[in-house]
Chains A and B, each alone.
Chain A
């Protein structure tokens, strides 16, 4: 059974810092991995999707990497801003199943 773990559960940083969020999964037979952002009480916004054949994806200040063989992904946020404060969720998709989510990392960026 696929399990997704995110570390740390919460993170507080000052504005301007670069930071890394971690995601690990137990079954490497995934189709893709996605990172989402969720603001309190709101839905999910897709940030980056990495196909199983890819190593990384970039969008603006965000960079996500995938090491399928070790069951790990990282989300790198450069030059963090207070507007980046949110919960970041990692999810993996296996063929024939649904997205399986971690519990998320809650990020707080102070000005």
Chain B
């Protein structure tokens, strides 16, 4: 049990809609990262937050945005959904300054129709 929880577990949206995915980090962790995993692929880095500031971003357009809150929970927002956004979205937390080991949640499966 990693202690990282994500909600919802599954979500169906239509093209053009907006979606918010949520993540609660493991207790004591100050860093959260979001990854997108398409079917049959490895996870791709979206962005990372450290102490409520974005601290790194992968090759994703600005319609992918995020927030990290004082309690270290986090949100991933995606605007103007496209069919290719259908994927498993994974949240991972870690304790920067202690070690770099990531603990992943079970993910949110997003389907865009």
Contact = CB atoms under 8 A, between A and B. Distances in A.
Interface of A: 4, 31-32, 34, 36, 41-46, 49, 89, 91, 93, 96-104
A84 to B, nearest CB: 19
17 contacts: A34-B101, A36-B104, A41-B109, A43-B90, A44-B104, A45-B2, A46-B102, A93-B100, A96-B56, A97-B45, A98-B45, A98-B48, A99-B43, A99-B45, A100-B45, A103-B40, A103-B42
Nearest to A49: B101
> For the complex, would chain A's binding face be called helix, strand, loop or mixed by DSSP majority?
strand
B105 interface: yes
Given A41-B109, A43-B4, A44-B92, 16 more contacts: A31-B100, A34-B101, A36-B104, A43-B90, A44-B104, A45-B104, A46-B103, A89-B42, A91-B42, A97-B45, A97-B56, A99-B33, A99-B45, A101-B42, A102-B42, A103-B42
